[in-house]
Structure formats: structure tokens, C-alpha cells
Amino acid sequence: MTAPRPRETPSILIFGGGWLGQAVGRDVLSKGGIAWLTSRSPDTRAQLTDAGFHAVDPEDATALQTAVSEVQTLLVTAPPEPTGCPGLKALIPALSASGAWPDWIGYISSSAVYGDRAGAWAFEDEPLHASSLTGARRVRAEAEWLEAGQSMGLTVQVFRLPALYGPGRSPVDKLRDGTARLVRKPGQVFNRIHVDDVVSGLFASMARPHPGRAYTLCDDQPSPADEVIEWAARRMGLPLPPEVDWTDPSVSEGMRRFYLDSKRLSNARAKAELTWRPRYPGYREGIEAILKAEG
């Protein structure tokens, strides 16, 4: 039986009202839809409300039940915790209590689930060998969401993302504020993806749902990090930032995790099954778009 398609006017509950969640929410609002976003912070909920979203405290079970009963789609962007996925723990009881039946549920995972491939290609159906604690938590959260979807008859999709970038969060900003570093690790390569391409990929999945499927959303150009920084600096007419080893204390712990793995990601499944194409197939196109938007 074909899964139901979302109706024309979109409505969504996004568990995790951070950078990506807000980007998805803004797209829904631009289509004349309704977007609920969660945050544990009262200040953040006030900011979300000011931005036109319906804000909800994820620990308020009654409010969460109301939200899930009023939307067609659910998206979980919140990262897993040591005890598991907070979205799963909050949303499954809310769905059961409200009797809601969403058309589509998306779980945002990470390409860290693939682990280190020593520069080789990684595909969705291969065994997952996460090489970090955060990656292992993602593997567990994926499995729990897919199991929940199967047992409850829900259309659950998993999206594995590499490093995200976009306006306000890119090499452009790091070069300008002086926090960029030229980190070299011979042989290391990975993909990235513009936030707008993540949003379009999610909506492509909503239009063509495949229950239980995992997709890697990424660009078409796996590249070394130092190559990206060098190109961006020259494009902007700025001096190259300081060169450091990837193990240097000045490299943040979060950034250092990217250097643990070296792999090339394939987006062939998303292209074939979702008819999705990244608007920014490489870092040059993405950075150019950011600079152009700044005028």
C-alpha cells in the first residue's frame, strides 16, 4: 500500500528548535504552513514565537500531545543523549496518547555512523562502524526509530548528514571573525552540505516516502578541509589563517571529531528515489551563494 502523501498546506512538529530545525520551519512558514518547534529554554521559546513559530516545551506532555495531533509530519533534529534519543522518548508516548497518525517522520542522523572508511565510499546499506561515542549513539537512535516505525506502522525515514554549513555558519564567517584554522591531515576527506539542500531533501522525502529507508544527504564533492578554507580565503581576498595540526589544542573538540574519519559519501540513493539534487553540488557553489546573499 502506498504511504499517504502530505497535504498541500504543510504542518510540522520539529523536535529540536536549533539552527536546522528553524531552517526547516521557515520553509514551512514560507509555504503558508504551520511549524511547531520544541525547546527546553523559555527564552528560546519566546524567540521562536516572535519568529512566527508555535513553540512548545518538550517536557510538557500535554502540550506535546496537542502539537502532534495538529501536524502532518514530525522531524527530530535533537541529538541523542547518553540514555537515548530524547525525541523518541517524548514523541512516541505523545503519539500513543493523542491517537495521532503523522504522514511522515524524519530522524536527523549523522554520517558519523559510517565510521572511518580510509577515504573509501560509504553507502547506506553497508554495516555501520561508528568510531566515536556520538556516532555510536546515532546508530542506536536510528535503530530505535526504525523499530518504532515498524512496530507502530509509521513512515519513519533516517537522514545521515555530514558537516552542515550556510549563512551565518560557514568558512566565510570563520575567516572573517578570525577563528578559521588551516588544518591539514594528509589523506583526510569528507563531504559537507548546505542547509538549504538538507531542507529540500527532507521535503523531497515527504513527497515520496519510503518507510524504513535511510538516506545520505550530502554534496557531490568530497574534499579535504584545508582545500575549502584555502579556496574561500583566496575568493574573499583574505590572508590564509594559521596552519595547525588537527590534534592542536586550538582545534575544537567538535571539529577534531571530523578528522577522526575519512570517507566519501554517496548521495545516489537520494537522487534516484527522491529525485533530489543538491542546489550546491560543491563547496564553491555554496560559498559563492553565501557571499552573493551578503551583497
Distance CA 27, CA 203 (A): 10
CB-based contacts of 210: which residues, under 8 Å, 6+ apart?
A: 157, 273
pLDDT at 50: 98
Distance CA 226, CA 231 (A): 9
Rounded average pLDDT over 261-289: 97
Record the cell numbers describing residue 88, joined without a space. Answer: 523518541
Does the pLDDT of residue 139 top 90, yes or no?
Answer: yes
Does the pLDDT of residue 5 top 60, yes or no?
Answer: no
Domain CATH for 40: 3.40.50.720
Record the cell numbers describing residue 290, joined without a space. Answer: 553565501
Range of the domain at 205: 11-162+192-219+262-280
Record the cell numbers describing residue 96, joined without a space. Answer: 500513543
Q: What are the tens digits of pLDDT across the range 215-252?
A: 999 999 999 999 999 999 999 999 999 998 888 887 77
Q: Are 84 and 136 in contact (CB under 8 A)?
A: no
| pTM, 2 dp | 0.94
* Structural domain contains residue 91: yes
Q: What are the tens digits of pLDDT across the range 10-32?
A: 899 999 999 999 999 999 999 99
Q: Which residues pair with 163 in a beta bridge?
A: 192
Record the cell numbers describing residue 119, joined without a space. Answer: 577515504
* Structural domain contains residue 2: no
CB-based contacts of 254: which residues, under 8 Å, 6+ apart?
A: none
* Structural domain contains residue 208: yes
Does the pLDDT of residue 285 top 70, yes or no?
Answer: yes
Q: Are 159 and 206 in contact (CB under 8 A)?
A: no
Does the pLDDT of residue 1 top 60, yes or no?
Answer: no
Distance CA 122, CA 191 (A): 11
* Structural domain contains residue 233: no
pLDDT at 8: 63
Q: How many residues does the chain have?
A: 295
Tally of domains in the chain: 1
Does the pLDDT of residue 286 top 90, yes or no?
Answer: yes
274 membership: H or E segment, kind and range: helix 268-274
Rounded average pLDDT over 138-151: 97
The percentage of the chain sitting over the pLDDT mark of 90, rounded to a whole number, equals: 87
* Structural domain contains residue 88: yes
* Structural domain contains residue 18: yes
Does the pLDDT of residue 196 top 50, yes or no?
Answer: yes
* Structural domain contains residue 239: no
User: pLDDT class for 2, splitting at 50, 70, 90?
Assistant: very low
Residue-averaged pLDDT of the chain: 94
* Structural domain contains residue 131: yes
Q: What are the tens digits of pLDDT across the range 76-107?
A: 999 999 999 999 999 999 999 999 999 999 99
